[in-house]
Homo-oligomer: A and B are copies of this chain.
């Protein structure tokens, strides 16, 4: 993957909070609060300015949807951790399968 690959572009933390506000329609107060609740993790510039990625913006829009449905920040966080773990487990299983196939085919 090249550094300028679109996948990595999406993860680059380069957007400041005012622009995120425009992109998401959320208030700066809300955006900072969701960080306090560990739903979002902006980077910081040397002088402490928050920097967000496009992925962060997408994530914030998902949060906004959940909040509209009356879901509490605590719930949102718990759901995400669950999904994250499921994904980890799945990847582990994939790797395990790879290794087994490797030895089965006696390639080494």
Copy tally for this chain in the complex stands at 2
Q: Is A9's beta carbon under 8 Å from chain B?
A: yes
Residues of B contacting A9 in the complex (Cβ-Cβ under 8 angstroms)? 6, 9-10, 54
1/0 per residue, CB under 8 A from B, across A10-36: the answer is 101011101100010000000000000
Q: Is A4's beta carbon under 8 Å from chain B?
A: yes
1/0 per residue, CB under 8 A from B, across A46-73: the answer is 0000010010001000000000000000
Say yes or no: B19 contacts A51, CB within 8 Å.
yes
**Shortest Cβ gap from A57 to chain B (Å):** 9
Cα-based distance from A4 to B18 in the complex (angstroms):
19
Residues of B contacting A23 in the complex (Cβ-Cβ under 8 angstroms)? 14
